Copies of this chain bind each other. A is one copy, B any other.
Amino acid sequence: MSAAASAPATIANLGPGFDIAGMAIEGYRDLVEISLRDDDVVEVQVEGREADRVDDTPRGNSAAVAASHVLRRAGVRKGFNLKLVKNVPVGVGLGSSGASSAAGAYAANLLIGRRLGMRELVLCAAEGERAACGSPHLDNVAPSLYGGFTIILDIEGPEILHVKPMPGFEVIVATPHVSLPKNKTEYARSLLPREVPMETLVRQQASVARLIASILKGDLEQFGKAVSMDHVVEPARAGMIPGFREVKKRALENGALGLSISGAGPSIFAITRPQDAEKVAKAIKEAFEEKGVKTSITRTTPSTTGARPEPTNP
């Protein structure tokens, strides 16, 4: 017997929501198929366009680690065969390991008759993140599991608020072709200040308030504005993306409602109304090109569906 599930790419660190707010997006899904074995061996096989770029060992593969944790938590002491179809681009700030972890945890839970609840799946998927990034951050696995927006109300908890996105917007993801240190997430964290001045904390609290209020009220304009008003992380990391400030300025001038860095970068994302999307995408591409930076642009939408069952190959 086998089970399969997929989970979407995500944008974490949504503007001022560093480590707490994320959004699932359409366009890329990691797929995991899993079946139990009679022995205690774990076999991992990775396919898909990004297959070469991920660890395929039982202890290093995010999907396998997340699946192991699900089975252990449910008291199932067996090995398994796991196939990961790796579609989410790796290392560009779109929650690649989070999507694998979410798909792995979700598929394993399907296999055992959904014995775990969503909150437990978040914890298991976070262990997949730990295998990939060194720490069990929730900000990608949560939206990848739930879909839509997720807001983490307690870092230790986890306690997660799940909100359906407001209608009427597109997300433009631009990935500049820049070379970054190998452990990019760690590098991006090293750019952050260790301490933040009290006045900045207050301004950031106001931005977080705007972000959460906009999401709960479904106020698209306020949401875009909030995304653009990160006073802590974006200023610290802007330097890793050549031309970031100019790109942001040009996108906003051309109708973007908001723009910030996706996850640990180097991808950036813009929030736009559908009618402005083409113009905004063009402005971003041109602004990067003027700085001599090649860029891949993807026009997409928020994903209301997080991890979900998929048909298994017979």
Interface residue ranges, A against B (CB under 8 Å): 16-21, 151-155, 159, 161, 192-198, 201-206, 208-213, 216-217, 222, 232
Known A196-B196, A217-B216; contact A210-B154, beta-carbon cutoff 8 A = yes
Q: Assess whether B202 is in contact with A208, with CB atoms less than 8 Å apart.
A: no
CA distance A17 to B21 in the complex (A): 18
Q: Assess whether A18 is in contact with B210, with CB atoms less than 8 Å apart.
A: no
Q: Which residue of B lies closest to A202 (CB)?
A: B19
CA distance A264 to B195 in the complex (A): 24
The residues of B that contact A213 with a CB separation of less than 8 Å are 151, 153, 161, 212, 216
The residues of B that contact A209 with a CB separation of less than 8 Å are 17, 20-21, 151-153, 161, 208, 211-212
Q: Which residue of B lies closest to A21 (CB)?
A: B209
Q: Assess whether B196 is in contact with A201, with CB atoms less than 8 Å apart.
A: yes
* Closest beta carbon of chain B to A224's beta carbon, Å: 13
CA distance A222 to B232 in the complex (A): 27
The residues of B that contact A203 with a CB separation of less than 8 Å are 155
The residues of B that contact A196 with a CB separation of less than 8 Å are 195-198, 201
Q: Assess whether B161 is in contact with A205, with CB atoms less than 8 Å apart.
A: no
Q: What's the number of copies of this chain in the assembled complex?
A: 2
Q: Which residue of B lies closest to A193 (CB)?
A: B198
Q: Assess whether B16 is in contact with A205, with CB atoms less than 8 Å apart.
A: yes
The residues of B that contact A153 with a CB separation of less than 8 Å are 206, 209-210, 213, 222
Contact check: which of B17, B19, B198, B211 meets A194 at CB < 8 Å? B198
A-B contact pairs, 19 of them (CB 8 A): A16-B205, A18-B201, A20-B202, A20-B209, A153-B209, A154-B210, A155-B203, A155-B206, A193-B198, A195-B197, A195-B198, A196-B198, A196-B201, A201-B201, A201-B204, A201-B232, A208-B212, A212-B212, A212-B213
Q: Which residue of B lies closest to A210 (CB)?
A: B153
Q: Which residue of B lies closest to A152 (CB)?
A: B206
Q: Which residue of B lies closest to A229 (CB)?
A: B154
* Closest beta carbon of chain B to A4's beta carbon, Å: 33
The residues of B that contact A154 with a CB separation of less than 8 Å are 206, 210
Q: Assess whether A204 is in contact with B206, with CB atoms less than 8 Å apart.
A: no
